[in-house]
Chains A and B, each alone.
Chain A
Amino acid sequence: MNKHIKDWVNKLMPLGALILVYAIFAVIAPPSFVSLKNLELIVRQTTIVGIASLGMTLVIIGGGIDLSVGSIVALVTVVIAWLLMAGSSPILAALGGVFAGLVCGFINGALITRLKLVPFIITLGTLLVYRGCAKGLAHEQKIDAPLSWINELLAALKPEHTWMIVPGGVWLLTLLAIIVALVLRYTRFGLYTFSIGSNEQAARLCGVPIEKVKLLIYGISGLFAGFAGLMQFSRLTVGDPTVAQGLELDVIAAVVIGGGSLAGGEGSVLGTILGALIMTVIRSGCTQMGLSNWVQEIVTGIIIVVAVVLDRMRHKQT
């Protein structure tokens, strides 16, 4: 019984950290920090990193890493803007952008499984390749695009839409998070992802189709980067090939703060979402207090290291 309690304590630790961080800022930051409006802002600001980190959760549980996420997001914003400018409907442009992300992800997966190179190297390469593609497609400029419903996905709700509680993009994040959590728990693919990250050789011995599963993992990571790119475009209203530089690091940090292990085999959707929220709360709190960007960066950096150290200590105990 004792063990079950311990398990739950472990699972709830990121939640405890989120509440703690929020409580600290609630005390030291101006009252506007705890306003509903700011809460909504925090949730909206978490959406881009949150969606991308769902894919990264799969990748990291599977013992891999995907460094190309930020570049895919930039490429997707460019593709959407380019399609809109070419006269396609918003829905087609959105689907086209997300599809571009999926293709990028499958390219990563194909290279990793065919060339048998570590994902770090492959995605470090495609990080540059996809960024270059985005810049080439956009002729190294921002692409302006006509306004459409896409831009409402992540904007503050109009008064007549308050029945939605939060904007569509946040609902998409919620929906995707639930789907990924269910997939991890209730499908073969989920089980295989855990087993590959835990012990690839043993998984192979058990007859797990390693290559297929990895291809799918990176494909999904690309797909989710595609959705994140759609959200990024929604916020920017233009296609910007230089956007989201270093986003992959925020995404990885969200997974790690949420209990994901870079050694593979561990991680959860709930943890990842909480990890992403923790980072946004810190940012929002620091901004409200008028602290500079560099303070936020130092605080976030410390949180990442502390999260991993705590995680390590937890494991030593068992």
Chain B
Amino acid sequence: MNPEHRLKVENIKVRFGGTFALDGVDFSVAPGEIVALIGENGAGKSTLMKVLSGAVIPNEGSMLLDGKPFAPRNPEEARHSGIAMIYQELSLPATLTVQDNIFLGMELCRPLLGTNWILDRAKMRNAAESALRELGHDIPLTTLVRDLSISDQQLVEIARARAVGCKVLILDEPTSSITRQDVQRLFALMRNLKAQGHSIIYISHFLEEVEEVADRFVVLRDGKTVGGGKIGNSTHEEIVALMVGRQLTDLYPRSKRNFGETLLELESLAGDAKLQGASFQLRRGEVLGIFGLVGSGRTDLIRSIFGLDTIRSGNIKVGAYSGQASPAQRWSQGIGMVSEDRKGEGLAITRTIAENLVLSFPQSCEKAGTFSPSTMEATADEWIEKLSVKCRASGQRIGELSGGNQQKIAFARLLHHGVDVLLLDEPTRGIDVGSKKQIYEQIDSLARNGKAVLIVSSYLPELLGICDRIAVMNRGRLSEPKNVEGLTENSVMLEAIA
């Protein structure tokens, strides 16, 4: 066994179709070391995690675990080799007790007639108790997991990982949805595990937290390892420059825009979950960008405006209207929304292009007071033509289209409805560059024609490219929008991870 490296990863490459999701990743972690893995959304962190946890098999490269070749073919193999993964979205069977969760899949049994079917509950209770006590916490073992807080659930997952005998513990954004105090508790626990010789890979957006708890950092960008080093030897700015490190292109059209009256105004809006406070005014002819990392509350903001999430305090003014409203009322007030979850809530994936397009506004397809399918199809054909959607016919199921073409239809729904305010949540996520460019052009022409656009994105270049002002969401609070002229990727990113 090589004491220098618990896990060593060399030149890992993963190809999906023609594109490299990972294009040469190197890093290592030693026993008793915490290594932070950082990078922007889409830098390849999640693919790398999938490789380590056996969910994706790399096309090239090698991995060594305790000096021996490590090539898991499935998650079970990775687990048995001692890789424990704690996902951002925790995945414990929620109706089982804490004790049952800790031992699920590797129960302690007592032999009976040559079988090992019978659970040894007493033994498991003792083992679970001592496992949690070693972590310095006590959660009642008979509590159902669904009654625990997120941070207690994390604790159960960590206890579980230890009980399996894990060598490398991977924590994916563990702090994004827990409170400050719980973050401190988690860090204390991580230091405790480190002292016991465990290796920890810690994935986070929050640089301050990385500096607080990690020994070293590794930066990923565009699927490659682009740098790293000891914590304390690099400044915030240097790390951010490594994370961002690219130039704006002329992908983003920006015509002369004239701002008019305020169409949408938020006054210290707060929701039930993540959203803590947001205020801004959105004017006619303006494109306002909201930048925030996963879990910062940016989607909650849009959902609250559109009436999908409840509002705890604050106010929303839409033209002459004030206060909460249902999505149906928002549509009639002239607001439309494109969801970040295209398949889940953006589109009725098993229905046709035409139906999806006119779903919010079927009245537009009425003839003599009754719904006319032929008018609907004619309407859809117009939009298909205008946005050059690649499809067979307007009657084709939308699920058969590519992501980019689906998104064009989701977007066209708002255009067809003729709304004045467009709320766009990650409108270009997971679509091809050509479709992206068309959506940017549409946004620009909408602004030119006096519409107001609110766009939420975790992709900084596009916000800097198409917006007039940008506000940053950080832990549920939205900053004052700033004019885009004075902003750089580094400055916005710094604000988002402060």
A residues contacting B by CB (< 8 A) are 3, 186-191, 194-195, 197-199, 201-203, 205-208, 265-266, 318
User: Can you list the 6 inter-chain pairs with the closest CB atoms, starting with the nearest?
Assistant: A206-B105, A198-B93, A265-B95, A207-B105, A199-B93, A202-B91
Q: Chain B residues with Cβ under 8 A from A207's Cβ?
A: 76, 79, 105-106
By DSSP majority rule, is chain A's interface helix, strand, loop, or mixed?
helix
B residues 87-140 near A (Cβ < 8 Å) are: 91-96, 100, 104-107, 109, 116-119, 121
B residues contacting A by CB (< 8 A) are 75-76, 79, 91-96, 100, 104-107, 109, 116-119, 121, 143, 146-147
List 16 additional A-B contacts (Cβ < 8 Å) besides A187-B117, A189-B117, A206-B106: A186-B119, A187-B118, A188-B116, A191-B100, A194-B96, A194-B100, A195-B96, A195-B104, A197-B95, A198-B95, A203-B93, A203-B104, A205-B91, A207-B79, A207-B105, A318-B147
Q: Which of A188, A194, A203, A208 contacts B109 (CB 8 A)?
A: A188
> What's the least CB distance linking A192 to chain B, in Å?
8
Q: A187 contacts B94, CB within 8 Å?
A: no
Give the interface centre of A3, A207, A208, A318 by most chain B CB atoms within 10 Å.
Answer: A207
Give the interface centre of B92, B105, B117 by most chain A CB atoms within 10 Å.
Answer: B105
26 contacts between A and B (CB under 8 A): A186-B119, A187-B119, A188-B109, A189-B117, A190-B119, A191-B96, A194-B95, A194-B96, A194-B100, A195-B96, A195-B104, A198-B93, A198-B96, A199-B92, A199-B93, A202-B93, A205-B75, A205-B79, A205-B91, A206-B105, A206-B106, A207-B106, A208-B104, A265-B93, A265-B95, A265-B96
Give the interface centre of B100, B106, B143, B147 by most chain A CB atoms within 10 Å.
Answer: B100
Q: Chain B residues with Cβ under 8 A from A187's Cβ?
A: 117-119
Q: Which of A195, A201, A266 contacts B100 (CB 8 A)?
A: A195
Q: A188 contacts B91, CB within 8 Å?
A: no
Q: A194 contacts B93, CB within 8 Å?
A: yes
Residue of B nearest to A183 (CB): B117
Give the interface centre of A188, A189, A197 by most chain B CB atoms within 10 Å.
Answer: A188
Q: Chain A residues with Cβ under 8 A from B92's Cβ?
A: 199, 202
Q: Chain B residues with Cβ under 8 A from A203's Cβ?
A: 93, 104-105
Q: Chain A residues with Cβ under 8 A from B93's Cβ?
A: 194-195, 198-199, 202-203, 265
Q: Chain B residues with Cβ under 8 A from A205's Cβ?
A: 75, 79, 91
State A194–B96 Cα separation when bound (angstroms).
7
State A190–B119 Cα separation when bound (angstroms).
9
State A3–B118 Cα separation when bound (angstroms).
29
Asked, given contacts A203-B104, A207-B105, A318-B146, whether A191 binds B95 with beta carbons under 8 Å apart, the answer is no
Q: B91 contacts A266, CB within 8 Å?
A: no
Q: Chain B residues with Cβ under 8 A from A191's Cβ?
A: 96, 100, 104, 107, 119
Q: Chain B residues with Cβ under 8 A from A189's Cβ?
A: 117
Q: Chain B residues with Cβ under 8 A from A197's Cβ?
A: 95
Q: Chain B residues with Cβ under 8 A from A195's Cβ?
A: 93, 96, 100, 104
State A32–B212 Cα separation when bound (angstroms).
77
State A75–B105 Cα separation when bound (angstroms).
37
State A136–B104 Cα separation when bound (angstroms).
45
Q: B94 contacts A265, CB within 8 Å?
A: yes
Q: Chain A residues with Cβ under 8 A from B95's Cβ?
A: 194, 197-198, 265-266
Q: Chain B residues with Cβ under 8 A from A202's Cβ?
A: 91-93
Residue of A nearest to B104 (CB): A206
> What's the least CB distance linking B75 to chain A, in Å?
6
> What's the least CB distance linking B279 to chain A, in Å?
32
Residue of B nearest to A261 (CB): B95
Q: B96 contacts A188, CB within 8 Å?
A: no
Q: B119 contacts A199, CB within 8 Å?
A: no
> What's the least CB distance linking B147 to chain A, in Å?
5
> What's the least CB distance linking A93 to chain B, in Å?
30
Residue of B nearest to A194 (CB): B96
> What's the least CB distance linking B177 to chain A, in Å?
18
> What's the least CB distance linking A187 to chain B, in Å?
5
State A198–B91 Cα separation when bound (angstroms).
10
Residue of A nearest to B100 (CB): A191
Q: A186 contacts B107, CB within 8 Å?
A: no
> What's the least CB distance linking A59 to chain B, in Å?
16
Q: Chain A residues with Cβ under 8 A from B105's Cβ?
A: 203, 206-208
State A206–B76 Cα separation when bound (angstroms).
8
State A188–B111 Cα separation when bound (angstroms).
12
Give the interface centre of B91, B104, B147 by most chain A CB atoms within 10 Å.
Answer: B104
Residue of A nearest to B107 (CB): A188
State A215–B196 Cα separation when bound (angstroms).
42
State A318–B145 Cα separation when bound (angstroms).
11
> What's the least CB distance linking B144 to chain A, in Å?
8
Q: Chain A residues with Cβ under 8 A from B94's Cβ?
A: 198-199, 265
Q: Chain B residues with Cβ under 8 A from A3's Cβ?
A: 143
> What's the least CB distance linking B303 to chain A, in Å?
21
State A178–B105 Cα separation when bound (angstroms).
25
> What's the least CB distance linking B104 to chain A, in Å?
4
> What's the least CB distance linking B160 to chain A, in Å?
8
Q: A188 contacts B117, CB within 8 Å?
A: yes
> What's the least CB distance linking A135 to chain B, in Å?
36
> What's the least CB distance linking A17 to chain B, in Å?
22
Residue of A nearest to B120 (CB): A186
Give the interface centre of A189, A195, A206 by most chain B CB atoms within 10 Å.
Answer: A206
